[in-house]
Amino acid sequence: MNIIEISQHSIPFLVKGLGVTAYLSLISGVLAVIIGVIGGIGRGSKIYIIRIFSSIYVTVFRGTPFLIQLYVVYFVLPSFGITLNVLQAGIGTLAFNSGAYISEIVRAGIEAIPKEQTEAALSLGMTPFQKMKLIIMPQVVRIIIPPLVGQLILLVKDTSVISLIGIFDLIKVGRELAIASGDNPLIIYGWVAIFYFVICYPLYVFSIRIEQRLKLRY
Amino acid sequence: MIVKQYLPVFRQAFFNTLGVSAVSLIFAFIVGLIGGLCKISKNKIIHSIVSIYVNAIRSTPLLAQLYLVFFGFPYLGIKFSPFVTGVIALTLNSGAYITEIVRSGIEAVPKGQTEASLSLGMNYFTMMRRIILPQAFVIIIPPLVGQSVVLIKDTCLLSIIAYTELTRAAEIVVANSFAPTEGYITSALLYLTLCFVLMQFSRYLEKRQKKA
């Protein structure tokens, strides 16, 4: 088969894989942001146990490769009575992995807000929760959006690793196609790379645009 | 017990991980240095070639790059050992990120330095070598250490091309002993030790820089 035939044959399958990749990215991305915000606030908490706990969480997840985390969740947790299917293990691990990085981003964002803002909010009689919700977080969001988008790009790319425990996402479909057809694998992997590029590159452009716009504002 | 029995496997794998990381990091730094210098070049063609390289690498997963090198290259008649394949993929991957680190480091050196050295009659290479790069280097060390942590963690993907690093060692131990807990947790702890030391080092450097 020539390049065009191979492409015509494989692209419909790859598009389906792309859908799975998008689904994985979307769900774990939303969960990761939620975990990251909780973790980031936890790292600055006044309560010692919460602070230590979130600090250990961030260190452990940032200090080990995602693949090892995935293997631990998928192969080790069943020995302790927690059995997850591929989808749960993949999305959960990715969410906690990215959540650790996002925690650091959120923590840095909160630390970048001047102390006076906290003091002013508290002296106005706000509760700590109101202070976070009404004063601190709206400012933090603006600071953290560029690094957050950068982290979400890494998350999209990391979904490819989940294929190693058996999810049929974009890269796994490409791998199976390459094995099954026995034809030039360069073409199929080339298409896989292009598909990832199509998702990630616009996100990069988006993050750079936002960064520039925020810079102009200040 | 199982960990003790397989200790030589883990020890070998630990040094393999260190070795492949170190070699890739050195090459990636060379690629990044050249890339960074090209990225700030006024020559449009050189600039766009490096931009395409950086964007292409940053927008595709390492796993896809690894598959391309490992399964694609033999089709062109080029066959590498797992170690060389790993070094090529990791070098190309980290090189793109280090290019951006180097670029931002050079751009962080005040413009006055360039103007001063040019007005002293230095040529481009003397200026870069004696004035700009030494200052840029101090700035880029913390992110560079951060990137080396990422690189060490990325070596885990080499397990799929059968290079015996820590993840692969864990897989071997699990396959032989049916003890996933011991196998995977030991590897995870070894990675954690390695990365934790580097992460603390990077934080220390950053703090020292802020003081200065």
pLDDT single digits (tens) A69-117: 999 999 999 889 888 999 999 999 999 999 999 999 999 999 989 989 9
How far is the CA of A166 from the CAs of A45, A69, A171, A173, B88, in angstroms?
Answer: 39, 15, 11, 10, 26
pLDDT at A7: 82
* pLDDT over threshold 80, residue B159: yes
Q: Are A155 and A32 in contact (CB under 8 A)?
A: yes
pLDDT at A216: 64
Of A67, A159, A200, the CB nearest to B156: A67
A189 and B159 within 8 Å at the Cβ level: the answer is no
Tens digit of pLDDT at every position of chain A (218 positions): 677 888 888 888 899 999 999 999 999 999 999 999 999 999 988 899 999 999 999 999 999 999 999 999 999 998 898 889 999 999 999 999 999 999 999 999 999 899 899 899 989 999 988 988 898 888 888 889 889 999 999 999 999 999 999 899 999 999 888 888 776 788 889 999 999 999 999 998 988 888 888 776 65
Q: Which two tokens stand for residue B62?
A: 């390492």
A63 and B174 within 8 Å at the Cβ level: the answer is no
Confidence of residue B100 (pLDDT cuts 50, 70, 90): very high
The domain B2-211 having CATH identifier 1.20.1560.10: the answer here is: no
Q: Are A89 and A70 in contact (CB under 8 A)?
A: yes
Look up residue A42 and give its amino acid. Answer: G
Q: Which two tokens stand for residue A115?
A: 């102390």
ipTM: 0.90
Q: Where are the domains of chain B?
A: 2-211
Look up residue A211 and give its amino acid. Answer: E
Q: How many residues does chain A have?
A: 218
Comparing CA positions, the residue from A65, A153, B63 lying closest to residue A73 is A65
pLDDT at A217: 60
Q: Are A143 and A98 in contact (CB under 8 A)?
A: no
* pLDDT over threshold 90, residue B80: no
Q: What is the distance, to the nearest Å, from the Cα of residue A73 to the centroid of all Cα atoms in its chain?
A: 17
- Closest Cα of chain A to B52: distance in Å? 11
Mutation test of the interface with chain B: which of A189, A201, A205, choosing the one with the most B Cβ atoms within 10 A? A189
How many domains is chain A partitioned into structurally?
A: 1
Q: In terms of residue numbers, what domain contains A122?
A: 3-217
pLDDT at B178: 86
> What is the mean pLDDT of the segment spanning B40-48?
91
Q: Are A137 and A119 in contact (CB under 8 A)?
A: no
B187 and A75 within 8 Å at the Cβ level: the answer is no
Closest Cα in chain A to B169: A68
Q: Are A173 and A14 in contact (CB under 8 A)?
A: yes
Q: Which two tokens stand for residue A169?
A: 């996402």
Distance CA B5, CA B33 (A): 44
Which range among A162-166, B139-143, B204-208 shows the weakest confidence by mean pLDDT?
A: B204-208
State pLDDT tens for residues B109-128.
998 998 999 999 998 889 98
Please give the DSSP secondary-structure letter assigned to residue A78: G
Closest Cα in chain A to B170: A68
The domain spanning residue A130 has which CATH number?
A: 1.10.3720.10
Mutation test of the interface with chain B: which of A1, A76, A179, choosing the one with the most B Cβ atoms within 10 A? A76
